[in-house]
A and B are shown apart, each in its own frame.
Chain A
C-alpha cells in the first residue's frame, strides 16, 4: 500500500468506524453461539445495573466538571481584581510615606540649619553640606533646561515583537549624555536622579531607584543652553534618532524656559564622623 493510500485509509477508518468494533465482534459471537443464556433474567438485571452505574458516572462526571470550570473562572477574575486593588493600595501607601518622608526631612533640615547657623564652624559645615546636597540631588533646582520625551512605538498590528520599545539602556544613554553636557539636575517622570540612582529593567517595566516609570518617559534636565545641541549631536542622540526613523519610537526634545525639579529621596547617610569642636559655644561637649 502506498503511503498516501495508507494515510487515506487511516483517515477513512477514523471518520467511518466511529463505533467501537467490539460491538460487532460481540454480535457475531452471539449469532455464532446462538446464546440461550441471554434470556436469563439474572444476568439481564446485573447488566442493566452496571449500565446504570456507568451512566451515573457519565452524568456525575460531566456535571462535576462543568461546576468546577464555572466556579473557577470567576474566582480567577476575583483574585486578579483583588491583586490589582492591593497594588493600588500599596502604591498609595508608598506615596503617602514618600510625602511624609519629604516633610520630615524638611523639618530635620530646618532644625539642623538653625543649630548650625549659630556658630561659625557650623556655618562652614552648612556651606559644605549645601554643596554636597546640591550634588546629591537633595535640593530643589529651578532654571532653564530640556525636556526629552521618549515614547514606545505603537504595537505592531501582526502581533509580533515590538522592536520600538524604549529600553532601560535608551534612558541611561540619554541621561548620561545630559550629565556629560553639563546638566545640574535630572529627573525621570518627576523622579530626581542622585549619584547612586539606578535605571534598569525588571521584566517589562523600567525602574528608577526601584520605582516604576511608565511610557511615555519624560526626562527633564536643568543645565546650560548648549545641552540641546550637544544631546542631539551625541552618539546616543543620533542612535535614538535612527531608531525613531527605523522602528517608530518617539523622541521629542524641547527647550524649556523654567523647570522646577523636586529634591530626590535617595541619600542615606552611611558614614559620619564628629567635627573637631572649637570652644566657641561655651556649653557644648562634656
Chain B
C-alpha cells in the first residue's frame, strides 16, 4: 500500500496544526452553533478512527474518508438541529452519541489488535 510506504507525515502535521490553532487562537464559537459542536466533534472522531482502522486494514481510501468525515459531521449536526426543533434534542443527541461511541470503541479495538496483535 502506497500510503503506508510514504508515511502519514502530512496528515499528522495537519492534526498537530489543528490542535495548535485551537489552543493558540482560542476562537469564540457563535452561540447559535454551540449545541452542534460537541456532537460534530464526536462524529469527526468517529470518521478519524474509522480512517486509521481502514488504513491498518490496508483498505484506506482518501475519498471515502473525506466523504464519510464531511457527511458524518453534517448529518450529526442536522440530527441535533432537527431534534431541537422537534423538542427531543437531548434524546436524539444521546442516540447519536451511543451509536458513534460504539463505533469508535469497535474501531479503537480493531486498531489495538493491529498494533499489539492482541
Using a CB–CB cutoff of 8 Å, the interface residues on chain A facing chain B are 14-16, 18-20, 22-27, 30, 38-39, 44, 47-69
Contacts and interface: CB of A to CB of B under 8 A. Distances in A.
Given A18-B105, A59-B16, A59-B17, A23 B63 contact: no
The size bracket of the interface on B is 35 or more
Contacts of A59: 14-22
Contact of B54 (A20, A47, A49, A50): A20
Contacts of B58: 27
B22 A58 contact: no
A15 B106 contact: yes
A147 B90 CA distance: 50
A67 B10 contact: no
B61 A26 contact: yes
What's the dominant secondary structure at chain B's contact region?
Answer: helix
Contacts of B65: 51, 54
B14 A51 contact: yes
Interface of B: 2, 6, 10-23, 26-27, 29, 34, 37-38, 40-41, 44-45, 47-48, 50-51, 53-54, 57-70, 99, 102-107, 110
Contacts of A51: 10-11, 14, 51, 62, 65-66
A73 to B, nearest CB: 14
Contact of B23 (A16, A23, A47, A67): A67
B15 A23 contact: no
Nearest to A39: B2
What's the dominant secondary structure at chain A's contact region?
Answer: helix
B29 A62 contact: no
A60 to B, nearest CB: 4
A209 B110 CA distance: 68
B66 A50 contact: yes
A59 B106 CA distance: 21
B34 A18 contact: no
A48 B10 contact: yes
A27 B59 contact: yes
A51 B27 CA distance: 23
